[in-house]
Amino acid sequence: MEVLRLDHAAIKTVRLEETRRFFEEVLNLKVGPRPDFDFPG
């Protein structure tokens, strides 16, 4: 099965920048718009 796109992922981590860098650099995913939640992410 070929994955064509991923619209959303929710991952709880205390190492946000490292986790985001992994998804961007290793998986080649892009950061999209984020709703105005009352917590960081």
26 touches 2 (CB < 8 A): no
Q: What is the pLDDT along the chain (41 residues), one digit of tens a residue?
A: 888 887 877 888 999 899 989 989 998 888 888 888 888 76
Residue 4: alpha-carbon gap to chain centroid = 16
Choose among 20, 14, 19: nearest CA to 32. Answer: 20
Distance CA 7, CA 28 (A): 13
pLDDT score, position 41? 65
Distance CA 11, CA 25 (A): 17
